[in-house]
Amino acid sequence: MAAEITKAQVDEIFPTVAKTIADALGCELDEVKRDASLIEDLGAESIDFLDLVFRLERAFKVKIPRGKIVEDARGDLPEAEFEQKGVVTEAGLARLRQFLAEVPADRFKAPLKATDIPRLFTAETFAKLVLRARAEQPAA
């Protein structure tokens, strides 16, 4: 697994990530808190995630593959063990809690539909996404 992301690393890029989120979603900058759910708190829709990822790629000059958060969250857990019939398994929930450690624990409710995983994403989730993309890129 990739190196742990530190609070200092998130602190360093969060102002830019927050501004990018505010611009993409048309909300006030002060609404973009680290633990704000992009869907529940900031009104994002799935189409907004594509725009947001595109804007973050431009702002940070990184490449973020589509579906990367869920893929990374699943890690080495086989898909059949991560979700069954569209519902995240206990093992899958445990992986999500670990991977999305920035998400308040009370948001992980079972049963969790796989299609509802994006509802968990916070502003900090996207900051970590940028940091991981940065770490995975060969140095220019």
Below-50 pLDDT ranges, the chain: 1
pLDDT score recorded for residue 20: 98
pLDDT score recorded for residue 78: 94
pLDDT score recorded for residue 131: 96
CA distances 6 to 23, 40, 66, 78, 132, Å, are 25, 26, 24, 27, 11
CA–CA gap between residue 106 and residue 7 (Å, rounded): 21
pLDDT score recorded for residue 1: 45
User: Which CATH code fits 7-135?
Assistant: 1.10.1200.10
Instruction: Flag whether the pTM goes above 0.85.
Output: yes
Domain boundaries, the chain: 7-135
pLDDT score recorded for residue 68: 85
